[in-house]
Amino acid sequence: MYFCEMTAGDGVRGPYADYDAWFAQQDNARLAQKSREAEAFFRQTGITFNVYGDKDAEERLIPFDLVPRILSGREWDKLSRGVDQRVRALNAFLHDIYNRQEILRAGIVPIDLIAQNDAYLPQMMDFVPPGGVYTHIVGTDLVRTGEDDFFVLEDNARTPSGVSYMLENRETMLQMFPELFSKQKVKRVSDYPKNLRASLEASAPPNCKGRPCVAVLTPGIHNSAYFEHSFLADQMGVQLVEGHDLRIVDGHIAMRTTRGFKVIDVLYRRVDDDFLDPLTFHPDSMLGVPGIMDVYRAGNITIANAPGTGVADDKAIYSYMPDIVEFYTGEKAILKNVETFRCSEPDSLKYTLDNLKDLVVKEVHGSGGYGMLVGPAASKAELAAFADKLRANPANYIAQPTLSLSTVPIFTEAGLAPRHVDLRPFALVSPEQVNIVPGGLTRVAMTEGSLVVNSSQGGGTKDTWVLED
Amino acid sequence: MLGKTAGGLYWMFRNLERAENTARLIEAGFRIALTRSTDPASDWRSVIVTSAQQAAYEAKCQTYQSTQVTEFLLRDPSNPSSVMSLIKNARDNARLTRTAITSEVWGAVNETWMRLCDQLSAPVPDTELPKVLASIRRQSALVRGALHGTMLRNDVYDFCRLGTFLERADNTARIVDVKYHALLPSPSFVGSKMDNVQWETLLRSVSGHRAFRWGSDGEYNAANIANFLILDRRMPRSLGYCADNLVDNLTYICDQYGQETESLERAHAIDSRLRGRDIHEIFDEGLHEFLSTTLIHLGELGLQIEKDYRFFQ
Amino acid sequence: MQLFVTHATHYTYDTPVVYALQKARLRPSGSKLQEIEAWDLTVEGGKIEAGYRDHYGNNVDLISAEPGTQSLVITAQGTINTHDLAGVLGPVYGRAPLWHFQQITPVTRLTDEVAAPFLGVFRAAPNPIEGGHALCHEILSKVAYDTDKTHAATTAQEAIAIGHGVCQDHSHIFIAVARQAGFAARYVSGYLRIDGRVHQDANHAWAEIHVPDLGWVGFDVSNGISPDDRYVRLAVGRDARDAAPISGLRMGNGGEELMVSLQVQQ
C-alpha cells in the first residue's frame, strides 16, 4: 500500500494533527467555494502556463489544491542537509568535468557519458564562472515512500522552474485561510526573491563595481513559463529582458533603456543553452544574445545558471550521483537515489525488457514526463511498442522500479481523496553558501492512482509547509 | 526603464484607447443606421472610413451592411484593428510590461481580455450589440481607473498617458475630418435635419453629445461643435485637451530624465497651433487642411517618441 | 624563417549597419613551431569589445561594427619566426581532452562505405605518420584541389561525392578518416608562405593528428606534406567552424561584400 502522509498507520500523523482538527470543523460547501475562488484568482492574475503544441488552450491553469502538504521541522532538516550536500557535489562535478576531469580520469564516471552528451558544452572547458558557481538555482525532485524513506528522482540543474507556484500557493493560502497560519508556525518562503537576488548579486563578476545589476532573460511572452519569469523579475525588483533588448557595449552586455544602454552584471537567463548565443551556438536563434559567450569568457558577465550545466541533470549521470557525491564531498550521500538500470549496459537492458511491465522507463535526456513509459499503467501494445524503441536505442533509456509514491489528500467535492505527490525544494548557490528555502513545490497527480505529477501532463500543485517544531 | 517596456506601455494604452473609440464609433453608427437613416449603407461606410479602414474592409466585403461592418470592426482576427485584435494586443503588451504595472492594472486588462474572449466568441447579433459595446466602454474605464488609482506618477505612467492621448487626438481629428463638410458653415443647411443628424453622430462618436449641451450654452451650430471638439480644453476628447496632456507628460519625462527631447518640441508645436485660436479663423484657413496637417504632426510625434525613448532600437 | 603577415578582412555594407559582431581568431600563439615577434590586430569602422582565450587556447577577439558604418576593416599584422620540425607540434595539451578531438562533428561525418577506402589506405601503412601521408595522397587523388566546386558549409562526405575541394574540405576528410581510425584529430587554420607569390586571397588550413609518444603532428593534405617553416598556426578546433579566423553576425537587411587581402612574405 501507499504511504499516506496525513494518516499513516492508526491515525493522523503528527505534522497534520492541527490541520486535521481544523479541517474537521470545515463545511465542504464553503471549501468548494474557496477552491473556485482560488481558481478565478489564478486565472485573473494570469498565473498560467502555455502547453507546447496545444493550440486550443494557449494558456492553462495548473490546478491548485487547497490541502497543504506538511513536513515537520525534523523531516525537513534531513532533507535540506541532503539537498545541500547534493547541490555542492553537482557544482564540484561541473567544475571538474569542464576543467581537469579528475572524475573521468579516476574512472568513476565513464567518458562516453560526457563525450556523447549533447548538454556538454566544449565552450565551457578551461573556464571557471565568477565565484566558481555553475548552478545558481537547483531544483531537486524528491519522492517519499515511507516514514523515513525519501529518494531523489531527478536533479534539475539547468533552469528549474516552479518556484513562482511555491510563492503564489503560499500567498493564496494566506489569503484564503489566514486562521490556519495563526494556529501553527509555518516557516516563511516569502524571502525567496530577496535571497535569489542577493545570491545572484554575490555571484557577480569580480571586476563589477558598485551594486551588481541583475536582470532576468526570458524568451518572451509566448514561452510556457513566462509568468514565472515576469513574476521573479518583479519580485526581485529587476528588469525582465529579451534578447533584442540587449547588445554589447564596451565589452559588457547592456540593456536598451529609455535613457540609453545600461550594463548588466548578472543575467538570470531562462533561455536554453542552444539558443543563448547565435554567434556561438545555434546560428538561427532569435531569442539569444549574440556574443554573450565571448563577454562571459572575457569575465564581464555572470550567466545563471552557467551554460552547460544540463550535463549534470542527465538521467544517465543521475545513476552515478551517489558516487559523485562521495567523490567530491568524501561523505556518503544523505539522500538516496532510486535504483536505476542503465539500458546501455547489456544486463540492465535484458532485465528491463524482461520486467518492462513493472518498471518506469525514461529517456536519458528527457524531461517534463514526455517520452516515458509507466509499465504498470501501459497496455500490452504500448509495452511492445516501447520494447522496440528500447532495443533500437538502448543507451537512450534508463529504467527504474515503480515506486510506491506517498500520497497526500486533495480536496474534492466528496471530501478528501489520496493522490500521489513529489517535492521540489529550491536551492540557491552563491560563492559563500547554499540557501534552501524551507518548503518547495509539491506537485500532485490529480487523477486517482496516477503517478505522473508533471504539470504538462495534468498535474497540480499544493502549498508546502515546513513546521517550526 | 527598458525602451521595450516604454513601448509596451505606450502601445497597450494606444490599443485600449483605439478599442474604446472603435466601440463608440460602432455605437454611433448603429444608432443612426437603425433610427434615422435613409441610407444606412452610407452611414456604415462613413464609420469604416472614420476608422481609417476603408481599403482593408473593401478587400473583404462588397457591401456595407451592419452585420458585416460590426463583425469586421469587433471580431475579425485578420483585422489588426478589430476590437478583439486590439484588446489581445493590449493584453500581450500588459504581459510584456507586467513588471512595470500594478497588479490592479494588469488584472483589469486581463479581465477585459477574458470578458471579451467570452462575449466575442461568436458573431454578435444586433440585439446584443448595445450590451457588448457598453461592456467594452466599461472595461476601458476600469483599466483607466486602475491606472489612475494605483500607479506611481513616474515615467511608467507618463508613457501610458502618451499612448492614450496620441491615439485619442488622432481619433478625434479623423472623426471631425470625415464629417468636416457637415461642419462647414453653410447658411442653406443650417438647422436642417441632415446637419442635426450628422452633428449628433459626430458628438456621439466622442461621447460628447451631453457634454456639449452643458458646455456650450446649448447652441447647436457648426462653429460651436467644431470649437468644442477642436479647441475646447474642458472637453477630454478635444484636440486641445489631448495636446495639453501630451505636452505635460512629455515634460514630466524630460524633467525626470534631465534631458530635452525633440518629442517635446514637436508636442509644443502641435499644442501652440491649438492655443488662443478662434474657430472661425480655422474655418477661414480651411478646416480640412488644418485637420490633415494635425494628423501628419501627430504621426510624426509618434515616430519621434519611439525614437527618442528607444522603443525598438 | 622570419615571416611577415598582413591579413585584412574588409566588409562593405549596402546600407548603414545597425548592429554587427565579428568573432576573430586572428592572434597566433607561440609554440615550439613559431615565436611571435610582433603582432597587432586593428579595426577600422568598429572596435574590439572583448578578448579572451577560448577552450582550445585560441586567442579570440569580439569585434563590433560602429553603428551606421558601411565599412569594417579588420587587419592582423605581424612578424613570426618559424621553425621546420616536420610538422611535429608535440605533446602540448590544453584542457580540451584528447577524447574531445576523437568526436565526430556534423561536417566530419562519413558513412562507413565512403570512409572504407580511405581507412584502408591509412591502416595499411606501418605507422600513423606514414599512414597520414598516404591518406593525404589518397584524398588528393580522389578530391582534386578546385576553388569553385565547394563552399564554406560543404561537409567531408559531400566533398568526396563532388570530387573536388579546397584545403578546408581536404582537412575535414582527413580528420574524419583519422577519427574513424580511432585517432584524435583536429583542424588548424593559419597562413602559408607560397613560393613566388606574395598576395593571396584566403587563409590556409590543414589537419593535425595525435600520435602516441609523439604528440600532435600536422598534415597539409592540399600540398601533400607536413607543415614546415613556411606555415603559421593561427587557431585550432574540431572542424573549420571552431577554428574560423573570422565569423560574424549582422542584424538588418541589405547586402554585404567581403574582400580579403592577405600577404605572407619572408
With CA atoms as reference, the chain B residue closest to A240 would be B99
pLDDT class for C120, splitting at 50, 70, 90?
A: very high
Q: What average pLDDT does range C93-97 have in this prediction?
A: 91
Average pLDDT score, chain C: 95
Instruction: Please say whether the beta carbons of A69 and A464 come within 8 A.
Output: yes
Q: What are the chain C neighbours of A104 within 8 Å (beta carbons)?
A: 97
* Cα of B258 to nearest chain A Cα, Å: 10
Tell me which of A248, A281, A295 to substitute to probe the interface with C (most C C-beta atoms closer than 10 Å): A248
CB contacts of A100 in chain C (<8 Å) are: 95
Residue appearing with cell numbers 480640412: B288
pLDDT band at A44 (very low <50, low <70, confident <90, very high): confident
Confidence of residue A457 (pLDDT cuts 50, 70, 90): confident
Contact predicate A152/A142, CB 8 Å: yes
User: What's the CA gap between A268 and C61, in Å, rounded?
Assistant: 25
Strand partners, C247: C23
Contacts of A433 (CB under 8 A, 6+ apart): none
User: Searching chain A, which residue's CA lies closest to the CA of residue B309?
Assistant: A258
Q: Which strands make up the sheet holding C185-192, listed edge to edge?
A: C88-90, C215-219, C204-211, C185-192, C231-237
**A247 with C19: Cβ contact below 8 A:** yes
Kindly report which listed range (A41-55, A133-147, B172-186, C236-250) carries the lowest average pLDDT score.
Answer: A41-55
pLDDT(A459) > 60: yes
- CA distances (Å), origin C55, targets A99, A124, C14, C238: 10, 7, 35, 11
Rounded to an integer, what distance in angstroms lies between the CA atom of residue A410 and that of residue A6? 11
Q: What is the pLDDT of residue B28?
A: 84
C53 and A295: CB-CB below 8 Å? no
Could you read off the pLDDT of C169-194 as tens digits, one per residue?
Answer: 999 999 999 999 999 999 999 999 99
Instruction: Give yes or no for C64 touching A (CB within 8 A).
Output: yes
In this prediction, residue C189 carries a pLDDT of 97
The answer to whether the Cβ–Cβ distance between B2 and A241 falls below 8 Å is yes
User: What pLDDT was estimated at residue B195?
Assistant: 64
What is the pLDDT at residue A368?
A: 60
Of B277, B189, B209, residue with least CA distance to B239: B277
End-to-end CA distance of chain A: 28
Which subunits sit against B, judged by 3+ Cβ pairs under 8 A?
A
C-alpha distance across the termini of chain B, in Å: 14
Minimum Cα–Cα distance from B256: chain A residue: A259
CB contacts, 8 Å: A110 with chain C: none
Q: Do B309 and A239 touch (CB under 8 A)?
A: no
Contacts of A99 in chain C (CB under 8 A): 95
| Nearest-CB residue to C55 (from A122, A294, A295) | A122
Place of cell 549496459: A345
- Neighbouring C-beta atoms of residue B117, cutoff 10 Å: 13
Chain C residues close to A298, C-beta within 8 Å: 50-52, 62
Reduce the DSSP state of residue C248 to 3 states and report it.
Answer: strand
Q: What digits encode the pLDDT tens for the residues A379-430?
A: 999 999 999 999 999 988 999 998 889 999 999 988 899 999 999 999 999 9
Residue A376 has pLDDT above 50, yes or no: yes
Q: Tell me the CA distances in angstroms from B37 to C131, C174, C186, one per residue in order.
A: 95, 84, 83
**What confidence score (pLDDT) does residue B218 get?**
61
CA distance, residue A454 to nearest chain B CA (Å): 25
Q: Tell me whether A277 touches chain B (CB under 8 Å).
A: no
Does the pLDDT value for residue A56 go beyond 50?
no
Per the DSSP assignment, residues forming a β-bridge with B251 are none
pLDDT of residue A33: 92
CB contact under 8 A, B257 and A259: yes
- ipTM for the complex? 0.94
Asked if C97 is an interface residue toward chain A (Cβ–Cβ < 8 A), one would say: yes
- Read off the pLDDT band of B76 (50, 70, 90): very high
Task: Provide the chain A residues 207-236 that lie in CB contact (below 8 A) with chain B.
Answer: 221, 226, 230, 233-234
Of A43, A240, A258, the CB nearest to B3: A258
pLDDT at position C90 over 60? yes
Could you tell me which chains touch chain C, where touching means 3 or more CB pairs under 8 A?
Answer: A
pLDDT value at position A104? 96
**Per-residue DSSP letter, C123:** H
Of A454-458, B230-234, B235-239, the poorest mean pLDDT is in A454-458
**Are A291 and C54 inside 8 Å of each other by CB?**
no
A258·B96 Cβ contact <8 A: no
Q: Give the chain C residue nearest A113 (alpha carbons).
A: C99
**Which residues does chain B have within 8 Å of residue A239's beta carbon, measured at their own beta carbons?**
2, 5, 99
Nearest chain A residue to C25 by CA distance is A294
User: What pLDDT, on a 0 to 100 scale, did the predictor assign at position B35?
Assistant: 73
Q: Per residue in C199-251, pLDDT tens?
A: 998 899 999 999 999 999 999 999 999 999 999 999 999 999 999 999 999 98
Give the model's confidence band at B192: pLDDT under 50 very low, under 70 low, under 90 confident, else very high. Answer: low
Which of A81-90, A432-441, B20-29 is predicted with the least confidence, judged by mean pLDDT?
A: B20-29
What are the domain boundaries of chain A?
14-338+403-466, 339-402
**Contact state of B313 with A256 under an 8 Å Cβ cutoff:** yes
Query: B254 and chain A: CB distance < 8 Å anywhere?
Result: no
Task: Give the chain B residue nearest A238 (alpha carbons).
Answer: B99
When scoring B91, B93, B95 by the number of chain A Cβ atoms within 10 A, the one with the most, hence best to mutate, is: B95
The phi and psi torsions of B38 (rounded to 5 degrees) equal -100, -20
Q: Which domains does chain C have, with CATH numbers?
A: 2-83+246-265 (2.60.40.2250), 88-243 (3.10.620.30)
Hunting for cell 504539470 — which residue is that? A455
CA distance A234 to chain B (A): 5
Interchain pair A126, C49: CB under 8 A: no
Residue-level pLDDT at A55 = 47
Q: C166 — phi, psi (to 5°)?
A: -115, -175
Q: What is the pLDDT of residues C49-81, one digit of tens each?
A: 999 999 999 999 999 999 999 999 999 999 999
Indicate the pairing of strand A64-71 with strand A260-264: unpaired
Look at A356-370, B205-219, C131-145 and tell me which has the smallest mean pLDDT.
B205-219
* Cβ-defined contact of A45 to B95 (cutoff 8 Å): no
Contacts of B155 in chain A (CB under 8 A): 258
CATH topology of domain A339-402: Dna Ligase; domain 1 (3.30.1490)
pLDDT at B211: 81
* Cell (9 digits) for B241: 485637451
Which pLDDT value is given to residue A54? 47
Taking CB atoms and an 8 Å cutoff, what residues of chain A touch C104? none
What mean pLDDT value characterizes chain A? Answer: 92
Please report the pLDDT score of residue B155 as a whole number: 96
Option in A98, A248, A300 nearest C21 (CB): A248
Chain A neighbors of C19, CB-CB under 8 A: 247
Residue B56 has a pLDDT of 92
Which of A94, A120, A126 is best to mutate for the C interface (most C CBs within 10 A)? A126
pLDDT digits over A216-270, tens only? 999 999 888 899 999 999 999 999 999 999 999 999 999 999 999 999 999 999 9
Chain A nearest C-alpha distance from B4 (Å):
7
Q: Do A250 and C19 touch (CB under 8 A)?
A: no
Interface size A-B, in CB pairs within 8 Å, comes to 57
The verdict on A57 touching C (C-beta cutoff 8 Å) is no
**CA dist., res. C245 & res. C203, Å (int):** 8
Quote the longest CA-to-CA distance of chain B. 58
Q: Are A19 and A70 in contact (CB under 8 A)?
A: yes
The span from the CA of A213 to the CA of A204, in Å, is 9
Taking CA–CA distances from A251, the nearest residue in chain C reads C49
Q: What is the mean pLDDT of residues A124-145?
A: 96
Closest Cβ opposite residue B155 in set A226, A234, A258: A258
